[in-house]
Amino acid sequence: MDSSAPVSASAPAGPGARKIIPIAAAESESVGLYEASKKIYPRTVRGMFARWRWAMVFLTQLVFYGLPWAQWGERQLVLFDLAARRFYIFGLVLYPQDLIYLSGLLVVSALALFLFTAVAGRLWCGYACPQTVYTEIFMWVEHRIEGNRTARMRLDAESMSLEKLVKKWFKHLVWIGIAMWTGFTFVGYFTPIRELGMAFLQTRMGSWEVFWVFFYGFATYGNAGFMREQVCKYMCPYARFQSAMFDRDTLIVTYDPKRGEPRAPRRKGIDPRSMALGDCIDCGLCVQVCPTGIDIRKGLQYECIGCGLCVDACDTVMQKMAYAPRLIRYDTQNGMEAGWTRRQLVRRVLRPRVLVYTAILSLLVLGLLASLVTRTPLKVDVVRDRASLARIVEGGRLENVYRLQIMNATEEARDYRIAAHGIEGLSVSPDERITIGPAQSRWVAVRLQVPYGAVPAGSHTVHFDIREERGGIQVSEKAAFLVPR
Amino acid sequence: MSDFVNNFWSNYIAAGTVLSILGCMLLLWLTARKRVPSDADNTTGHVWDEDLREANNPLPMWWIGLFVLTIFFAVGYLVVFPGLGSFSGQANWSTRSEYEEDVAKATKALAPVYASYASMPMEDIAREPKAMAIGERLFMNNCSQCHGSDARGSKGFPNLTDKDWLHGGAPEKIVETITKGRVGVMPPMAVAVGSQDDVKNLANYVLSLSGAPHDSVRAGLGKSKFTVCAACHGIGGVGNQAVGAPNLSDKIWLHGYGEAAIMQMVNAGKHNEMPAQEGRLTEAQIKLLASYVWGFSNPATGP
């Protein structure tokens, strides 16, 4: 079928034919399936949302760059020691067995994302996403070195000169510096950062550490320096499922067409109503400041990261024109159509969907915190010996062998005593004290004995009780005691 | 690296791989050249379900670049590593060669650790906590499957922590046992002993040697039959480490305790084997392991 033919012309006539909405056949042109991406030169903008964005840049980067340097006693405050399989977070020592906390954290993060998105759109994208934050930092460097939007466009258009070369080289040098520092910091979460710094100065860093510093540095350089909005548009899945979290009461960055249209340039001081014009003067600033290069006046688009810079830009213009601000604003679809006041908007925030998200999120956070606070810093795994089922030993006693992995999740050496209960006459051998070093785990072979013939054949449930001598912490683990026929 | 029974399957897989890569290239080339009509409102003119219109949303060019890179990578990978049927690749890489390299690397890295124990007497090694930590790991990986995690064995597998040794408990003897392995053979003796009643009498006599509960009348009758056993187990049943014959006069019963178990041994005999470890462990490892095992039955007396 010739798809270029106007649809209305090829519509089948006659009774029973499906209704086809005719589409006006405008002049059709032929385009490729791919296009060279156009570079976006966002204009810098001042205003409330821009200030918020910078506040978030400082906050997130203060945490990211600063945290690995903080100390907690003898060690790093936050350290994910993958090689030794121990995670240290403040006073906590987490073992691989504590993976449930990571799962909990991920579920909480996902729910928080749902909640914030349902209430106020893509706040994460606009303010806290590393892609946004590093792009913001890199663009600030670019702006400092190459000048404002028009200067940058001019510089890119002109042929190579010494000045251009110097500017470009300097920009990339600074970018690479920031990127490498970011990579170094990232690795510093997994290897003690002070030692890593010393190792770097003495050029004796491990090959994997070098790899990850460069890998993460390169990713920062490439993503924040070159890919920028392309990551949001083509790689990030968030934009693609935002429609599942948005509803008509979600706050979005939106343009008020009722107030703005018809748009047209005009001189200052002219009453737009007298010329049958809307408030939009079609200056295009909202497009120029947009980091993803979209025109918000076309309505909500998946590229919109909800940063609100167009709001800032439009407000400046509205102020200059002496019009009311917020022609582009955070508003909901319902609010925009019905002309709701702020109070009416806020009332719709407390809708069932948001309440359910909030309830689940609070429950999970509380549960997670409670479980962390009440966590016993001692873990025990019991593994029945795989070689021998049961054996009779001297003295006519029936013996089962177990291996106990005792994990000390504190940062001091601790003494533990092992006891068992569950069967009449059960005794533990060797009845000795076991000392486990700080944040260490050890396998200990332990034997349980009962008098032969005292219990019927079969599998019996027993419990190991491992008690820490000083703190009095106790862990009980179930095991099976086998009595052969 | 050829697990195929004939060349057909190797060629089949190689052809499938090559055709897939060529297919990807063709697809990329065609889509990069394809032009679609686009209306002024940026739709393709394609309408379905009454009013759904297809917008033209072109992907960026670098996307194609990425795909092309993956093709280059695939081709390069298939040249260097095995992947095209049974072609083994330019780098001659295989999981076995990688494993052997890793083992060689680890052996080399550990050599100085073992070297420090080379000239040390085994009795001293058994008092060295660091060496014993290595010994424990070696034991867990190579010995615990039969002798148990606590080295106390089970039926048919000797307890290594007591003073009772089938072949001798001196450090050198343990090294010999681990290196060369041991075969314990108890031949079926019922024919030599006589009737089943004789065997039962003999079993009671054997029980009497260690003072275990037994029928003294039967034991008395069985005593004369023990002469055929004494060849290996010695007069009085004290055992003989030269042939690995267990001591029958102690309270340790490797193959089961009681009349029935002893009769079973006399009737059916037993062939017990400890496999040789010399092909699997190095001399240095065996020395550490033997010291560790020796340490069980010779615990350090407190200072």
**Position A8 pLDDT exceeds 50:** no
Chain A hits for B58, CB-CB cut-off 8 Å, are: 31-35
Interval B43-63: pLDDT, tens: 888 888 988 888 888 888 888
State the average pLDDT over residues A368-381.
92
Residues A355 and A468 in one domain: no
State the average pLDDT over residues A389-414.
88
**Which of B63, B146, B257 is opposite residue A392, by nearest beta carbon?**
B257
**Which of B53, B59, B145 is opposite residue A33, by nearest beta carbon?**
B59
Domain-embedded: residue B97: no
What CA–CA distance (Å, rounded) separates A93 from A90?
8
What CA–CA distance (Å, rounded) separates A346 from B214?
93
pLDDT for B289 equals 95
pLDDT for B303 equals 46
Domain-embedded: residue A109: yes
Phi and psi angles of residue A39, each rounded to the nearest 5 degrees, phi first: -70, 135
Hey, are the CB atoms on B149 and A394 less than 8 Å from each other?
no
- Token code pair at residue A126: 């606009």
Residues A336 and A459 in one domain: no
Domain-embedded: residue B42: yes
pLDDT for A23 equals 52
Residues B177 and B283 in one domain: yes
- Domain total for chain B? 3
H or E element at residue A360? helix A352-373
Q: Chain B interface, mutation test: which of A8, A10, A21, A31, most B Cβ atoms within 10 Å? A: A31
What CA–CA distance (Å, rounded) separates A112 from A106?
10
**Which of A20, A26, A32 is opposite residue B41, by nearest beta carbon?**
A26
pLDDT for A27 equals 58
First to last CA, chain A: 80
Q: Chain A interface, mutation test: which of B149, B152, B250, B255, most A Cβ atoms within 10 Å? A: B149
Domain-embedded: residue A366: yes
- Token code pair at residue B157: 């597998």
- Only one residue has tokens 């017990």, namely B272
What CA–CA distance (Å, rounded) separates B220 from A314?
115
Interval B2-16: pLDDT, tens: 567 788 988 999 999
Go through chain B and tell me how many residues it has.
303
Interval A124-163: pLDDT, tens: 999 999 999 999 999 999 999 999 999 999 999 999 999 9
The mean-pLDDT minimum among A28-37, B70-79, B188-197, B200-209 falls in A28-37
Residues A327 and A440 in one domain: no
What CA–CA distance (Å, rounded) separates A475 from A376?
8
Q: Chain A interface, mutation test: which of B67, B150, B159, most A Cβ atoms within 10 Å? A: B150
Residues B24 and B152 in one domain: no
Domain-embedded: residue A26: no
Nearest chain A CA: its distance from B169 CA (Å): 20
What CA–CA distance (Å, rounded) separates A238 from A132?
13
- Token code pair at residue A15: 């009774």
**pLDDT band at residue A2, thresholds of 50, 70 and 90?**
very low
Do A227 and A134 form a contact (C-beta atoms < 8 A)? no
Chain B hits for A20, CB-CB cut-off 8 Å, are: 47, 50
Domain-embedded: residue B94: no
What CA–CA distance (Å, rounded) separates A241 from B185?
73
Reduced to 3 states (helix: H, G, I; strand: E, B; else coil), residue A399 is: strand
State the average pLDDT over residues A457-473.
90
The model carries a pTM of: 0.81
Domain-embedded: residue A8: no
Residue A377's closest CA among A41, A86, A159?
A: A86
Q: Within an 8 Å CB–CB cutoff, is residue A17 touching chain B? A: no
Residues B190 and B270 in one domain: yes
Interval B223-241: pLDDT, tens: 999 999 999 999 889 999 9
DSSP β-bridge partners for residue B38 = A29
Which structural domain, as residue segments, surrounds residue B136? 103-181+275-296
Chain B hits for A387, CB-CB cut-off 8 Å, are: 144-149, 154, 157
Residues A72 and A194 in one domain: yes
- CB atoms < 10 A from the CB of A261, how many? 14
Hey, are the CB atoms on B35 and A445 less than 8 Å from each other?
no
**Position B38 pLDDT exceeds 90:** no
pLDDT for B216 equals 92
State the average pLDDT over residues A390-405.
86
Residues A285 and A140 in one domain: yes
Read off the amino acid at residue A446. V
Hey, are the CB atoms on B50 and A31 less than 8 Å from each other?
no
Chain B: residues touching A (Cβ < 8 Å): 31-32, 34-41, 43-47, 50-51, 53, 56, 58-64, 140, 144-150, 152-155, 157, 251-252, 257
Go through chain A and tell me how many residues it has.
485
Interval A160-191: pLDDT, tens: 999 999 999 999 999 999 999 999 999 999 99
The CA angle A233-A235-A236, to the nearest 5 degrees, is 80
H or E element at residue A115? helix A99-120
**Position A13 pLDDT exceeds 50:** no
**pLDDT band at residue A4, thresholds of 50, 70 and 90?**
very low
**Which of A27, A36, A445 is opposite residue B150, by nearest beta carbon?**
A445
What CA–CA distance (Å, rounded) separates A258 from A277?
11
pLDDT for A10 equals 41
**Position A305 pLDDT exceeds 60:** yes
SS (H, E, C) A138-155: HHHHHHHHHCCHHHHHHH
pLDDT for A28 equals 66
Read off the amino acid at residue A76. Q
Domain-embedded: residue B96: no
Percent pLDDT > 90 in chain B is 62
Q: Per the annotation, where are the binding residues of B for heme c?
A: 143, 146-147, 186, 229, 232-233, 274
Residue A452 vs residues A289, A461, B36, B212: alpha-carbon distances, Å: 84, 17, 86, 16
H or E element at residue A236? none
* A386-A387-A389-A393 Cα dihedral, nearest 10 degrees: -130
Question: What string of DSSP letters covers B235-267?
Answer: TTS--BTTTTBPPSSSS--TT--SHHHHHHHHH
Chain A hits for B50, CB-CB cut-off 8 Å, are: 18-21
- Token code pair at residue B21: 């890569």
- Only one residue has tokens 């009772």, namely B164
Chain B hits for A386, CB-CB cut-off 8 Å, are: 145, 149
- Domain total for chain A? 2
Residues B152 and B108 in one domain: yes
Q: Which residue of A has its CA nearest to B142?
A: A387
Hey, are the CB atoms on B40 and A26 less than 8 Å from each other?
yes
Chain A hits for B140, CB-CB cut-off 8 Å, are: 443
Q: Chain A interface, mutation test: which of B33, B39, B54, most A Cβ atoms within 10 Å? A: B39
Hey, are the CB atoms on B149 and A403 less than 8 Å from each other?
yes
Hey, are the CB atoms on A37 and B47 less than 8 Å from each other?
no
Last residue of a domain, one of A375, A395, A419: A375
Nearest chain A CA: its distance from B114 CA (Å): 23
**pLDDT band at residue A64, thresholds of 50, 70 and 90?**
very high
Residue B285 vs residues B107, B136, B282: alpha-carbon distances, Å: 11, 11, 5
**Position A435 pLDDT exceeds 70:** yes
Domain-embedded: residue B279: yes
Do A394 and A376 form a contact (C-beta atoms < 8 A)? no
**Which of A23, A230, A445 is opposite residue B60, by nearest beta carbon?**
A230
Residues B193 and B267 in one domain: yes
Last residue of a domain, one of A375, A406, A422: A375
Reduced to 3 states (helix: H, G, I; strand: E, B; else coil), residue A435 is: strand
Percent pLDDT > 70 in chain A is 94
What CA–CA distance (Å, rounded) separates A182 from A220?
8
Last residue of a domain, one of B65, B80, B95: B80
Hey, are the CB atoms on A20 and B39 less than 8 Å from each other?
no
- Only one residue has tokens 């295009």, namely A284
Which structural domain, as residue segments, surrounds residue A455? 378-483
Domain-embedded: residue B92: no
Residue B147's closest CA among B174, B117, B112?
A: B174
Alpha helices in chain B (DSSP H): 7-33, 61-80, 95-118, 122-125, 129-142, 144-147, 171-180, 190-193, 196-209, 216-222, 227-233, 259-268, 283-297
Mean pLDDT, rounded, of chain A: 89
Residues A346 and A394 in one domain: no
- Token code pair at residue B40: 């002024």
pLDDT for A24 equals 52
Domain-embedded: residue A10: no
Chain B hits for A5, CB-CB cut-off 8 Å, are: 45
Last residue of a domain, one of A325, A341, A375: A375
What CA–CA distance (Å, rounded) separates A161 from A320?
38
pLDDT for A22 equals 54
Q: Within an 8 Å CB–CB cutoff, is residue A235 touching chain B? A: no
- CB atoms < 10 A from the CB of B211, how many? 10
Q: A133 Cβ partners below 8 Å, 6+ apart?
A: A56, A57, A60, A61
Hey, are the CB atoms on A388 and B157 less than 8 Å from each other?
yes
Hey, are the CB atoms on A37 and B60 less than 8 Å from each other?
yes
CATH number of the domain bearing residue A450: 2.60.40.10
Q: Which residue of B has its CA nearest to A402?
A: B149
Do B36 and A28 form a contact (C-beta atoms < 8 A)? no
Residue A325 vs residues A105, A319, A328: alpha-carbon distances, Å: 40, 7, 8
Interval B111-164: pLDDT, tens: 999 999 999 999 999 999 999 999 999 999 999 999 988 898 888 899 999 888
Residues B209 and B141 in one domain: no
Last residue of a domain, one of B80, B112, B145: B80
Residues A247 and A321 in one domain: yes
For chain A, the maximum distance between any two Cα atoms, rounded to a whole number of angstroms, is 111
What CA–CA distance (Å, rounded) separates A134 from A144?
15
Residues B280 and B173 in one domain: yes
What CA–CA distance (Å, rounded) separates A351 from A341?
17
Phi and psi angles of residue A353, each rounded to the nearest 5 degrees, phi first: -55, -45
Residues B255 and B192 in one domain: yes
Residues A117 and A224 in one domain: yes
Residues B266 and B199 in one domain: yes
**Position A1 pLDDT exceeds 50:** no
Nearest chain B CA: its distance from A25 CA (Å): 7
**Which of A5, A33, A385 is opposite residue B58, by nearest beta carbon?**
A33
Nearest chain B CA: its distance from A283 CA (Å): 22
**Which of B60, B148, B155 is opposite residue A34, by nearest beta carbon?**
B60
Chain A hits for B40, CB-CB cut-off 8 Å, are: 26-27
Phi and psi angles of residue A411, each rounded to the nearest 5 degrees, phi first: -105, 20
Hey, are the CB atoms on B59 and A387 less than 8 Å from each other?
no
Residues A312 and A419 in one domain: no
Nearest chain A CA: its distance from B155 CA (Å): 7
Hey, are the CB atoms on A387 and B150 less than 8 Å from each other?
no
Residues B165 and B286 in one domain: yes
Residues A277 and A143 in one domain: yes
Reduced to 3 states (helix: H, G, I; strand: E, B; else coil), residue B45 is: strand
What CA–CA distance (Å, rounded) separates A55 from A61?
10
Domain-embedded: residue B192: yes
DSSP β-bridge partners for residue A474 = A467
A406: alpha, beta or left, given left = phi > 0 and alpha = psi -120 to 50?
Answer: beta
**pLDDT band at residue A393, thresholds of 50, 70 and 90?**
confident
Domain-embedded: residue B145: yes
Residues B158 and B223 in one domain: no
What CA–CA distance (Å, rounded) separates B64 from A191?
37
What CA–CA distance (Å, rounded) separates B46 from A25?
12
Nearest chain B CA: its distance from A307 CA (Å): 23
Interval A236-256: pLDDT, tens: 998 888 888 899 999 999 999
Phi and psi angles of residue B279, each rounded to the nearest 5 degrees, phi first: -80, -20
Domain-embedded: residue A287: yes
CATH number of the domain bearing residue B156: 1.10.760.10
pLDDT for A116 equals 93
Residues A383 and A368 in one domain: no
Residues B285 and B159 in one domain: yes
Phi and psi angles of residue B256, each rounded to the nearest 5 degrees, phi first: 110, 145
Q: Within an 8 Å CB–CB cutoff, is residue A29 touching chain B? A: yes
Hey, are the CB atoms on B62 and A33 less than 8 Å from each other?
no
Hey, are the CB atoms on B45 and A23 less than 8 Å from each other?
yes
Q: Within an 8 Å CB–CB cutoff, is residue A234 touching chain B? A: yes
Residues A62 and A206 in one domain: yes
Reduced to 3 states (helix: H, G, I; strand: E, B; else coil), residue B218 is: helix
State the average pLDDT over residues A52-59.
96
